[in-house]
Structure 1
């Protein structure tokens, strides 16, 4: 069992969100749905039988979704990084996670339709690390101009510096 498992707090959409995330990531599945028991005083908006927690895996990484109510919402202070092998993967995750009300941000960040933040990052970004300050600056400047990261443009910025 992993040492840490992210628990995402939802206001009634835990099952829906888990199913959505499982549809976006390969090798993913819902592993357990634990309903609120009869007579449960918390949370009041959800009736008996409503999912209290939903355990799921995204490409083997376990997560829990909790229907906790409206008291807490997501912020950019917590995000998940998705390291992508190529532009097709970046496009896939970007397009799927911004669909139906998601929001593009900058520098590869986005919020999905539930307000949760993701960073969609090319794995090759580490290969662009350099001791050359001009190359570092050129790549950083390119990233700052982008919403969805573009591998070809990042490589051009690196090569031209």
Structure 2
């Protein structure tokens, strides 16, 4: 399989393969594509340890690097997954949070590896794009939420 011109590289402590498997099982158009083992010892591991994995998340090519604890994850990087309804929002949110992840605010959560996710219903994005009072009402409703409540966003849009 050829290497894409541009690939997102995500630093993991040591579980890039487990993370990639979880993403492949959770999100459509996702897969664990290749596992590369270290040819010799390196600062955070030994020869034969998984060094990198190539995977795809919702159509986006990624590399997971098992680099050790030197660089922790932050919200400065996140995957944003657009959802079509509450059932899809719940499915992804519950999969991430229920697999050792953690809830945050305004549709954000972290997976067990520390990677941030925005589980964002399309109705919220559409309301914000509409601007004006509709956007303000939807934004103010969102600011009170952890997981996004689609019905509450729709009600806020209507006023």
Give per-residue Cα distances to partners, 1:57-90, cap 9 Å, x unaligned.
1233211100111111100111110011111111
Aligned to 1:127: 126
In structure 2, what is the equivalent of residue 75 of structure 1?
74
Whichever of the two has the greater Rg, that structure is 1
Q: Secondary structure at the match of 2:93?
A: helix
Contact between 1:21 and 1:58, CA under 8 Å: does it hold in 2? Answer: yes
Q: What RMSD over aligned residues (CA atoms) do the two structures have, in Å?
A: 1.6
3-state SS in 2 of match to 1:48: coil
Runs of 5+ consecutive residues of structure 1 not aligned to the other structure = none
Q: Structure 1 residue 118 and structure 2 residue 138: aligned? A: no
Instruction: Report the TM-score, using the length of structure 2 for normalisation.
Output: 0.90
Number of residue equivalences = 156
Deviation at 1:4, TM superposition (A): 2.7
What secondary structure, in the 3-state scheme, does the structure 2 residue paired with 1:145 have?
A: coil
SS of equivalent to 2:7: coil
1:7-156 alignment to 2 at 5 Å? 7-38=9-40, 40=41, 42-44=42-44, 46-128=45-127, 129-132=129-132, 134-156=133-155
TM-score by length of 1: 0.89
Structure 2 unaligned spans of 5+:
none
CA drift of 1:131 comes to 4.3
Name the CA distance, whole Å, in 2 between partners of 1:59 and 1:81.
Answer: 10
